[in-house]
Amino acid sequence: MTARLLDGRALATKIEDSLRAEVQTFAGMFRRRPRLIVVLVGDVAASASYVKSKQQAAARVGIDSDVIRVPAESQTADLVELVQAAAAGDHGPADGILVQLPLPAHVDAVAVLDAVPPHLDVDGFHPENAGLLSQGRPRFIPCTAAGVQRMILDAGLETAGRHAVIVGRSDIVGKPLALLLSAKGPGGDATVTLCHSRSADLADHCRRADILVAAVGRPNLVTAAMVKPGAAVIDVGINRIERDGRSRLVGDVDFDAVKEVAGWISPVPGGVGPLTVAMLLANTLLAAELSSR
């Protein structure tokens, strides 16, 4: 058996095509384009690369974006004040504000993220948006979790009554995805097991999954022996490793081995990553539409 590829790049292109038309309609109605502000702290190469890809994707669909760059030495209070100023319009009108993660270790990331008002929180991290999601009436869904569900729906994978196992309990991916997959409706109604670093016998939990999502940031954690034959395996991990003197990106799944067991599998890169960006654009357009009502 060789798994079918869950091509995130191809799906992201389809989503962008749809968003481009919706943004044009919005601009025609309101005589403006949606605008996203990104706060980038420090000069970490990976973060700068992610921000650049978000700006490029925004430009492709017609969303305006601007990056506010601040030094890595910035303190929590400074960043909170900056985010509040951006929300107040000091850096021009904004429909969405995104604080690029991770932040430096000395910064209280929760305080900075909480400073983004819920109606501008296109990452979906504010407690109000998390609460709405938990009640089954989401406003902005965290982008990676939304991207995983969209990948499942696009592939036509059945979720109702199926067993989904998520490895990783972060507020960014694991917890919101568990809520999405267990909620009523398309892409939901699954029985969800949320595993983490204290879970006993992780391999046994994984082998029971019809849909297995790995989101912990540990290279090649999920092996072929941990996968139920025919299961859908979705790899959220992005890890940079050195091998033979060369640097390359790998996921949390041992792709080459697992593809011979799974029914579907997402690659790294080219899987969930592009969908995370596409969902950010969708959230930004939604924020613009909600603010214009």
Helix extents (H) in the chain: 8-30, 45-61, 76-87, 109-114, 127-134, 143-154, 174-182, 202-207, 255-258, 272-291
Burial degree of 217 (CB within 10 A; 0-12, 13-18, 19+): middle
CB 164 within 8 A of CB 192: yes
The residue with tokens 């994984």 is 206
**Nearest to 32, CA basis, from 230, 285, 211, 209:** 285
Dist CA 257 CA 225 (whole Å): 9
**Nearest to 267, CA basis, from 278, 256, 280:** 256
Query: Mind telling me the catalytic residues?
Result: 54, 100, 123
- The Cα-based distances of 72 to 37, 42, 91, 104, 111 in angstroms read 18, 4, 20, 7, 16
Angle ∠(267,271,272) on CA atoms, nearest 5: 135
Angle ∠(148,275,289) on CA atoms, nearest 5: 100
Dist CA 254 CA 232 (whole Å): 14
Burial degree of 241 (CB within 10 A; 0-12, 13-18, 19+): exposed
Dist CA 76 CA 20 (whole Å): 36
